[in-house]
Amino acid sequence: MSQLTDALASNIGHGQGPGTDAGKSSKPRKPPKVPRGKFSVHFAHYKWLYLLLVPGVVYFAVFRYAPMYGVSIAFKDYVPFLGVNGSPWVGTQHFQDFFSNPDFPRLLGNTLILAFLNLGIAFPLTIVLALLLNEVRLSILKRTVQTLVYIPHFLSWTIVASLSFLLFALDFGPLFLFLNNVMGTNIDFLSDPNWFRPLIVLQEIWKNTGWGTIIFLAALATVDQDQYEAAIIDGAGRFRRVWHITLPGIRSTIIVMLILAIGQMLNTGFEQIYLMTNALNRSVADVFDTYVYFVGITQGAYSYSTAVGLFKSLVGIVLIFGTNALAKRFNQSGLF
Amino acid sequence: MMRRKLSLAAAVVTATAISLTACSGGEAPAADLSTVSIMAPFLEAQPPSADGAVQKKLEELTGKDINITWTPNASYEDKTNITLASSEIPHIMVIQGKTPGFVKNAEAGAFWDLTDKLDDYPNLKTTFPDIQQNASINGKVYGVFRGRAPMRAAVMFRQDWLDKLGLEAPKTTEDLYTVAKAFTEQDPDGNGQDDTWGITIPKWGALGSNSPYDLIEEWYGAGNRWTEKDGKLIPSFETEEFLEANRFVKKMVDEKLINPDFATFDGTKWNEPFFNGKGGIIVDVDSRVSVLVNLFKQADPNNYENKVGFVGNLEGPDGELHAHPTDGYSGFLAVPKSSVRTEAELAKVLEVLNTMNGKDVAILLNNGIEGVNFTVEDGKAASIKPETEESKAVTTDIKSYAQLGMNVGGNTFYPVKQPTEYEQQVFDKRTEVMAEDLKSAVYNPAAPYVSATYVSKGAQLDNIVADARIKYLAGQIDEQGLKDAIKLWNTSGGDKVTEEINQLWQDNK
């Protein structure tokens, strides 16, 4: 999350920061009077704009950048009593330990598989649902459905996990009985490692797909209605219209959302996975987030878990810049 | 203009800096210590109020203002670590165990070493030096331990089922199997349906956590966490008995004598199958017996006797009783150096702890206030009925205040008088059985020792074996898989742990 915010921060910083950008943006209004060159004159001229900037800068400095100082413990052997400054430096020891740890390939694998499943299944479903909702013409039905699909988003993962435990409970859960009857099996979905990932993705879809449609629905509202009329006159059916007008119309939104989603990819969600983990499915359930909690918080290995977290953030940054660059290469407007 | 702006900016920066230092420099006011701050966990829904009767009495007995930060038990460990990293450190901290976080802090000098100090205080000088040793870090005592009855393991079963099937209470692990099998297959509830099982086990996998698995392994003779073999300490899971015990449990799982969802079953619902007549046996601590009796009593006050039967530890296949004790303590009260800076201050804090370990405070923390919520009858504390607003408050509060009790010289407070004759009988029998089992207790020989490797990755290491144990029982892996997991424990750092533990053991022999 933080790398994303930081990326956004630097983006915002470019837009309003000192230098020529701010000058350019208000140039059209008072072109002749803009004094150039001397900073103090420039500053005096735009003092109110700079004043508006202050809260944002303070916020990011205090809550986003200052805590990053603590990241230095990834390179130290941190003991709470000795403090961040007092703890001895150990260089990249924790990173070496982590990469040579037998858990590492498994964690990376589990995290990536879950991430790609979520990205490959849950993300497109959001768009599909948004398109479906967009096609509903009956306003009351559309609104009702929208409200209903938003609701799960407001339930905490604890409740979602409890519901799953009830529905899939061994021997009496309704879904346990139904699915096993249909498939003619006797699977304990909650502890079978093969069913862990489907369950996680299913929960994710149930909880967040509806909520994710909001931005796409907003984008869909901006698509030019004249084009549809023209297409109808030309004899285009519903699917043609969706394919040739609607989807291209929200393409830039999809790409921005995709870049954001990819930046978040490794954040597989601690609570959800932690709650669904047990001894029998741990081999597929351990991801970076639960590992950091397990090692860092419960075992007090702060430095080590910070190193793991830092590694995760670095991968996140690489992913977000990579996708952005890729989007630009294909002539799409990227995020920044 | 510009200059004014700059000075304004400078002022803002300075103000921020000042407020930041103000946060971090919470200097304790001088050494008189009229207020003693304590951090403690609470297990109830609500922390006790800061101006309740128990609090006032505690302050009266110690002669200090006592300022207790009650922290929810579930997040206590996290909060301990965060508190130590902060600047608001209390004078006394309840530490719940020798966790890696605590060990690291202690070894970095965060807490006073009390090894040579406790004996100077009459109430802090323990009558259980072994337990104090168990609670130490390689012989260094960093806190006043909170004593707990070391013998607690019990097997409880539905007495009515046992009577109906004409069975005897189990004495050996083999008997346990027989009873579990009868409870599963012979329709003990008489409803004509095959809807019962023998033993209920909840999701509880960690090694050495006094789980049902740990108990059965110990009964088989695998030892208690560590065991001596050929003059060397080895982890109990490297013994042949460990494998035998798990074969035994697996046999019961395979024959469906154990609830099938033992890997995921929620431990807070442990009593339900027992009470509802689904699973007839629970292997846990003996205090659960009284909890179960009480459940039946609340459901039907006229017919609750003889529903719950229990025995203590079971004899293993070798015909011997290897009873499973705990380490005899549940954490300790430690004194951080950053809040208590000088020896003189430490002496004052220890003085307070000494008072808190005295009989008066022990009674207050565990029984309550005499005449308000209990009276003494034949040396037992009987609660006053009917309850008043006042007595209720005291009874509720002491459930949390008991967390501050240490009792290093044995329990000086009154035993609780049970509300009915039958419950008193059950209670007395519990005491008797546990005292008898204590004679055959097999202790953890490595309890006082903390290996450096174990501190840094012990929990991950143990998880390898703990998960493999559950997987083996559930049939996900075979016995070879379990052995492979134990080998993986060895090669991933376990050998080093064994080496370090043996070194410490030899040095301290």
Does the ipTM surpass 0.90? no
| Whole-number Å distance between alpha carbons of B373 and B396 | 10
- Within this chain, do residues A62 and A118 fall inside the same structural domain, yes or no? no
| Whole-number Å distance between alpha carbons of B273 and B198 | 10
Cβ of B81 within 8 Å of Cβ of A80? The answer is yes
- Within this chain, do residues A24 and A111 fall inside the same structural domain, yes or no? no
Q: Is A103 domain-assigned?
A: yes
Q: Would you call B476 an interface residue with chain A, using a CB distance cutoff of 8 Å?
A: yes
Q: Identify the three-state secondary structure at position A222.
A: coil
Closest C-alpha among B464, B456, B446, B429 to residue B501 = B446
Q: By residue range, what is the domain housing residue A106?
A: 96-329
Tally of residues, chain A: 336
Cβ of B474 within 8 Å of Cβ of A191? The answer is yes
For residues A165 and B235, is the Cβ–Cβ distance under 8 A? Answer: no
Mean pLDDT of chain B: 90
Which amino acid, one-letter code, is at A143? R
pLDDT average, residue stretch B323-332 = 93
Q: What would you report as the CA-atom Rg of chain B, rounded to the nearest whole angstrom?
A: 26
- Within this chain, do residues A119 and A203 fall inside the same structural domain, yes or no? yes
pLDDT average, residue stretch B180-187 = 95
Q: What's the pLDDT at A27?
A: 45
Q: For residue A80, give the chain B residue with the closest CA.
A: B85
Query: Which B-chain residues 33-72 have CB contacts (< 8 A) with chain A?
Result: none
Query: Which range is most confident: A263-277, A316-330, B458-472?
Result: B458-472
**Mutation target among B16, B75, B95, B460 for the A interface, most CBs of A within 10 A:** B460
**Mutation target among B256, B264, B487, B491 for the A interface, most CBs of A within 10 A:** B264
Q: What's the pLDDT at A15?
A: 38
Given pLDDT bands bounded at 50, 70 and 90, which one contains residue A36? low
| Interacting residues of B62 by C-beta distance below 8 A, sequence separation 6+ | B36, B352, B355, B356, B361
For residues A304 and A296, is the Cβ–Cβ distance under 8 A? Answer: yes
Q: What's the pLDDT at A3?
A: 44
- Within this chain, do residues A100 and A28 fall inside the same structural domain, yes or no? no
Closest C-alpha among A175, A172, A273, A176 to residue B272 = A172
For residue A43, list chain B residues with Cβ-Cβ distance below 8 A. Answer: 2, 5
pLDDT average, residue stretch B67-91 = 87
Q: Which of A46, A75, A104 is the last residue of a domain?
A: A75
Q: What's the pLDDT at B286?
A: 94
- Within this chain, do residues A156 and A263 fall inside the same structural domain, yes or no? yes
Q: Identify the three-state secondary structure at position B354.
A: helix
- Within this chain, do residues A325 and A186 fall inside the same structural domain, yes or no? yes
Given pLDDT bands bounded at 50, 70 and 90, which one contains residue B22? very low
Q: Would you call A105 an interface residue with chain B, using a CB distance cutoff of 8 Å?
A: no
Q: What's the pLDDT at B382?
A: 92
**pLDDT tens-digit readout, B412-426:** 999 999 999 999 999
CA atoms within 13 A on the CB side of A252: 12
- Within this chain, do residues A202 and A58 fall inside the same structural domain, yes or no? no
Q: Is A83 domain-assigned?
A: no
**Given a cut of 90, is residue A28 above it in pLDDT?**
no
Number of domains making up chain A: 2
Q: Identify the three-state secondary structure at position B258.
A: strand
Q: For residue B474, give the chain A residue with the closest CA.
A: A280
For residues A32 and A292, is the Cβ–Cβ distance under 8 A? Answer: no
- Within this chain, do residues A138 and A17 fall inside the same structural domain, yes or no? no
For residues B337 and B113, is the Cβ–Cβ distance under 8 A? Answer: no
Cβ of B108 within 8 Å of Cβ of A81? The answer is yes
Cβ of A297 within 8 Å of Cβ of B78? The answer is yes
Q: Is A100 domain-assigned?
A: yes
Calculate what percentage of chain A has a pLDDT beyond 70.
Answer: 88
pTM confidence score: 0.81
| Whole-number Å distance between alpha carbons of A97 and A135 | 54
**pLDDT tens-digit readout, B45-63:** 889 988 899 999 999 999 9
| Interacting residues of B415 by C-beta distance below 8 A, sequence separation 6+ | B379, B380, B381
User: Is the pLDDT higher at A31 or at B69?
Assistant: B69
Domains of chain B: 35-148+329-368+375-410 (3.40.190.10), 153-324+424-447 (3.40.190.10)
Q: Is A80 domain-assigned?
A: no
- Between A103, A190, A300, which is nearest B100 by CB? A300
Per-residue exposure over A174-193, b if at least 16 CB sit within 10 Å of its own CB, e if not? eebeebbeeeeeeebbbbbe
The conformation of residue A88, written as its DSSP 8-state character, comes to: P
Q: What's the pLDDT at B31?
A: 52
Which amino acid, one-letter code, is at B228? E
CATH number at residue A309: 1.10.3720.10
Q: What's the pLDDT at B15?
A: 43
Q: Would you call B167 an interface residue with chain A, using a CB distance cutoff of 8 Å?
A: no
Q: Is A196 domain-assigned?
A: yes
Q: Would you call A61 an interface residue with chain B, using a CB distance cutoff of 8 Å?
A: no
Q: For residue B20, give the chain A residue with the closest CA.
A: A62
Q: How far is CA A180 from CA A143, A175, A184, A188, A190, in A?
A: 36, 8, 5, 9, 13
Backbone angles phi, psi at B359, to 5 degrees: -60, -45
**Given a cut of 60, is residue B30 above it in pLDDT?**
no
Count of C-beta atoms within a 10 Å radius of residue A57: 16
- Within this chain, do residues A119 and A183 fall inside the same structural domain, yes or no? yes
Cβ of B85 within 8 Å of Cβ of A80? The answer is yes
pLDDT average, residue stretch B171-200 = 94
Q: Would you call A170 an interface residue with chain B, using a CB distance cutoff of 8 Å?
A: yes
Q: What's the pLDDT at B157?
A: 97
Count of C-beta atoms within a 10 Å radius of residue B302: 6
**Given a cut of 90, is residue B229 above it in pLDDT?**
yes
Cβ of A300 within 8 Å of Cβ of B102? The answer is yes
CA atoms within 13 A on the CB side of B198: 23
Q: Would you call B466 an interface residue with chain A, using a CB distance cutoff of 8 Å?
A: yes
| Whole-number Å distance between alpha carbons of A116 and A107 | 14
- Between A280, A294, A299, which is nearest B476 by CB? A280
Q: For residue B103, give the chain A residue with the closest CA.
A: A300
pLDDT average, residue stretch B59-85 = 88
| Whole-number Å distance between alpha carbons of B139 and B146 | 17
**pLDDT tens-digit readout, B243-272:** 999 999 999 999 999 999 999 888 888 999
Q: Would you call A279 an interface residue with chain B, using a CB distance cutoff of 8 Å?
A: yes
**Given a cut of 50, is residue A14 above it in pLDDT?**
no
**pLDDT tens-digit readout, A68-113:** 888 899 999 888 778 788 888 998 988 998 898 878 999 999 999 9
**Given a cut of 60, is residue B376 above it in pLDDT?**
yes
- Within this chain, do residues A147 and A221 fall inside the same structural domain, yes or no? yes
Q: Is A86 domain-assigned?
A: no
- Within this chain, do residues A66 and A205 fall inside the same structural domain, yes or no? no
| Whole-number Å distance between alpha carbons of B180 and B230 | 36
CA atoms within 13 A on the CB side of B225: 20
What one-character-per-residue DSSP string does B120-137 give? Answer: GSTTTS-S-HHHHHHTSB
Q: Would you call A299 an interface residue with chain B, using a CB distance cutoff of 8 Å?
A: yes
pLDDT average, residue stretch A122-130 = 94
**pLDDT tens-digit readout, B281-320:** 999 999 999 999 999 999 999 999 989 999 999 999 999 9
- Within this chain, do residues A64 and A136 fall inside the same structural domain, yes or no? no
